[in-house]
Structure 1
Amino acid sequence: MSQTPMTVTGAQKLRQELEHLKTVMRPQIIAAIAEARAHGDLKENAEYHAAREQQGFCEGRIQEIESKLSNAQIIDISKLPQTGRVVFGVTVTLMNCDTEEEISYRIVGDDEADIKERLISVNSPIARGLIGKEVDDVVNIKTPAGDVEYEILAVEYR
């Protein structure tokens, strides 16, 4: 399996979630299963079946996070040379050439992307169109609504 890029912040969030699942959720689920078992007949025990289902989801998520972390290429943007080029992890400020509206995006890994937080995946059409470009470059991005022309106003390595 190939390595997937991830920011330091994204890796920290996944490690925190993994720690929470292992130290908080797992013991709670085990306790719920034990309590449900104490109620007797397991065939018609909805609490037991719900707790077992929750255990399955929890263990699945633990495996998923461990797999993602083991295949992650963690990139610390602060250690990269600040060339002014758009690369993974940077925050890019753009101006829509038609509307003159400014917007900033941070280019992150697939698992970290959250458009509400202005975090876009490195594999998104916008990020793919920006990678390798520099401040003052004008780029044409294909969007579902049609082509949009943006000017790169700033590239921040933070």
Structure 2
Amino acid sequence: MTFSVPAADRATAVEELRTRAFPAQRVRTGTVASGPAHHWAELSRTPVWDGDVADRAAADERAAAERLALSRELAARWEAEPQTVGLGSLALREAEGEEPAEPWRLLGRSVPDVDLWHMDGRWIAIGVSGLPADHERVLVAVVTGADPP
């Protein structure tokens, strides 16, 4: 998907992932990677930063706007506001020897914060990956049955 995809279309994709069964083994289909307790979807991506600070700022703003639009669309559909949760402590806890379950380990390594819902026994997280600052930005949706650490 590209940034021209409407938030409503992305929300439909997230809704489909929310109800999809988790596979017994890791599989990847297109932009969706799934495992025994999660689905990780790449909904859009920005180019890798080429050194132009203005381009980086514009890409960051665009990714943030896409995340906000998707979160608002999901909140309206589900009639539930998300909780915004910072994930910085996950990387620190992992560095101290804790082993968070997937997909939380990968989220903690690549996404600074997420908009998070808990519905029907599943956690739905929307965020923008791209740590460190010189990496491309990817709007991700993660659905998991694993509780946050």
Instruction: Give the TM interval when normalised to the shorter protein.
Output: under 0.3
Ranked by relative contact order (alpha carbons within 8 Å, sequence separation 6 or more), the top structure is 2
Give TM-score, length-normalised by structure 2: 0.23
Structure with more helix by fraction: 1
Larger radius of gyration: 1
Give TM-score, length-normalised by structure 1: 0.22
